[in-house]
Amino acid sequence: MSHYISLTDADRAAMLKAIGVEQIDDLFADVPAEVRFPEVQLPQPMSEMAIRRELAALSGANADAAKQSIFLGAGAYNHFVPSAVDQILRRAEFYTAYTPYQPEVSQGTLQAIFEYQSMICRLTGMDVANASHYDGGTALAEAAIMAVASLRGRRKVVVPPSVNPQYRAIIRTLLQGTEIEIVGDENPEATPAQLAAQLDSSTAALIVQSPDFFGALHDLRPLVEQAHAAGALLIHHFDPIALALFQTPGEARADIATAEGQPLGGGLGFGGPYLGIFTSSEKYMRKLPGRLTGATLDVDGKLAYVLTLRAREQDIRRETATSNICTNQALMALASTVYMALMGRQGLRKVAELCYHRAHYAAAQIATIPGFSVRGDGPFFKEFVVQCPQPVAQINARLLERGIVGGYDLAQDYPHLGDAMLLCVTEMNSREDIDALLDALRG
């Protein structure tokens, strides 16, 4: 064996003999011969300048968020990201997704987590926030597990159909094998209020998304009272931008609150990386997955940051763990921290106001176009459902020809709605963008 190549020819021969084949090519016998080991046709070498021109031409053929007018949301949102966010993320001392395994020697990382947790608590009105999860869907699944772990003898979690269908799929995937019962979304038209009336002594938690997947806002206080009256917890999944204008989970007295943190400086990036925000009331702090960072004074009286509480699942046997989280999205949590610090209270409120007013302008105008209508008459934030006169795929194809990315086709998850799309309007959609969308819908 050489220093750099772990296997010798003799090693390979012994391994092939052990599995009953003569040569490595025999391992690919099931692959059709015409596609096996294709000859790669590479162009001749080019200079750096020529390669840059070639790559620029290729990337210029792609559609991207900077050139298209985007009205697609459904869990990933086109919000403005200040340039300072990326500039700070790229500093060498921060450029990792991991927290250190000797955390107290990495005071900068711990301070960043402490600032993130503190800002998230101020934003949500909740008592504690952990150091983040992979994304909003996994955070919501972990919230369901935490609720069951917090209440003895209750193993049912109620999930309305208005919760993001992808998050409901993640919950079912992560909770399979746990004997936790997931109910509530069998009837696609069931409301959170109807489900809250059905809570019983076996229910651990009622999950409510507000704004929900259709963009509608819900008053959580009566739902919290009904959940608590049944001895269950209420889990609120929220949009962090909406909290600058509307009821926070802390004001509603939610027990656990989660969110997808991508709108807070995460940008759009082919499905990730995203950020799972996870908070709870102090009462359930010791069941919180992940870790908490605190501030203290060292032996010299200087400010220092420490891991204060951690239910580190990797420290215990797997079969006794209550969580699947063993690391966090430190880099994306830092991005949201920088974003919130740059925007401040007034900046976040301004972003939320722009989303709200532009979405309502778009909805009001679309409702006047023959053949189109806006579903629902309740309050909504930045997303709303539009009933269409044609299949959504046809409408979106027509919009794309004009450089417009249309709404989410709800027929994929809610076929009973027929030809309906979920449109999203953020601060990135100008009045001119919305008017162009209206013209395109008019045909």
Q: What is the pLDDT of residues 172-205, one digit of tens each?
A: 999 998 899 999 999 999 999 999 999 999 999 9
Span 215-220, mean pLDDT? Answer: 96
At 144, the pLDDT band (50, 70, 90 cuts) reads: very high
Asked if pLDDT for residue 431 goes beyond 60, the answer is yes
Q: Which of 349, 354, 352 is nearest to 430 (CA)?
A: 354
Minimum mean pLDDT among 25-39, 101-115, 121-135: which range? 101-115
Q: What is the pLDDT of residue 101?
A: 64
Minimum mean pLDDT among 102-106, 134-138, 186-190, 241-245: which range? 102-106
Handedness of CA 108, 114, 118, 119 (dihedral sign): positive
Tokens 């046809």 belong to 394
Asked if pLDDT for residue 225 goes beyond 60, the answer is yes
Q: What is the pLDDT of residue 151?
A: 95
Fill in the amino acid letter for 344. Answer: G
Residue 59 neighbours by CB under 8 Å, 6+ apart: none
Share of the chain above pLDDT 90, in %: 77
Q: Give yes or no for a contact between 282 and 292, defined as CB atoms under 8 angstroms apart.
A: no
Looking at the DSSP assignment, which residues form a beta bridge with residue 205?
157, 233
Long-range contacts of 375-378 (CB under 8 A, 24+ apart): 375/214, 375/417, 375/420, 376/214, 376/216, 378/216, 378/217
Q: What is the pLDDT of residue 304?
A: 94
Span 233-258, mean pLDDT? Answer: 98
Q: What is the pLDDT of residue 115?
A: 96
Q: Which of 367, 332, 143 is nearest to 236 (CA)?
A: 143
Rounded Cα distance, 419 and 35, in Å: 41
At 107, list the tokens. Answer: 């005071």
At 439, the pLDDT band (50, 70, 90 cuts) reads: very high
DSSP 8-state symbol, 72: -
Rounded Cα distance, 193 and 369, in Å: 32
At 260, the pLDDT band (50, 70, 90 cuts) reads: very high
Q: Which of 81, 166, 74, 167 is nearest to 383 (CA)?
A: 74
Handedness of CA 171, 173, 176, 178 (dihedral sign): negative
Q: What is the pLDDT of residue 443?
A: 81
Q: What is the pLDDT of residue 220?
A: 97
Q: Which of 277, 250, 252, 281 is nearest to 264 (CA)?
A: 277
Rounded Cα distance, 373 and 405, in Å: 19
Q: Give yes or no for a contact between 433 and 403, defined as CB atoms under 8 angstroms apart.
A: no
Using DSSP, state whether 324 is helix, strand or coil: coil
pLDDT digits (tens, 9 = 90+) for 296-345: 999 999 999 998 887 655 566 666 677 766 667 888 999 999 999 999 99
Looking at the DSSP assignment, which residues form a beta bridge with residue 69?
404
pLDDT digits (tens, 9 = 90+) for 4-37: 677 888 999 999 999 999 999 899 999 998 888 8
Share of the chain above pLDDT 70, in %: 94
- The secondary element (H helix, E strand) that includes residue 310 is strand 303-310
Q: What is the pLDDT of residue 328?
A: 72
pTM, rounded to two decimals: 0.88
**Residues in the chain, overall count:** 443
Asked if pLDDT for residue 65 goes beyond 90, the answer is no
Residue 285 neighbours by CB under 8 Å, 6+ apart: 127, 128, 292, 309
Q: Give yes or no for a contact between 84 and 338, defined as CB atoms under 8 angstroms apart.
A: yes
Residue bearing the bigger pLDDT, 7 or 58 = 58
Q: What is the DSSP string of 146-190?
A: HHHHHSTT--EEE--TTS-HHHHHHHHHHHTTTT-EEES-SSTT-
Residue bearing the bigger pLDDT, 62 or 437 = 437
Q: How many of the other CB atoms lie within 10 Å of CB of 312?
A: 15
Q: What is the pLDDT of residue 291?
A: 84
Mean pLDDT of all residues belonging to the chain: 92
Q: In the chain, what is the straight-line distance between the N-terminal and C-terminal CA atoms, in Å?
A: 70
Sheet with 420-424: strands ordered across? 373-374, 383-387, 420-424, 408-409
Using DSSP, state whether 70 is helix, strand or coil: strand
Q: What is the pLDDT of residue 60?
A: 87
Q: Give yes or no for a contact between 422 and 408, defined as CB atoms under 8 angstroms apart.
A: yes
Q: What is the pLDDT of residue 127?
A: 97
Q: What values do phi and psi take at 286, rounded to 5?
A: -75, -5
Q: Give yes or no for a contact between 427 and 355, defined as CB atoms under 8 angstroms apart.
A: yes
Q: Give yes or no for a contact between 265 and 339, defined as CB atoms under 8 angstroms apart.
A: yes
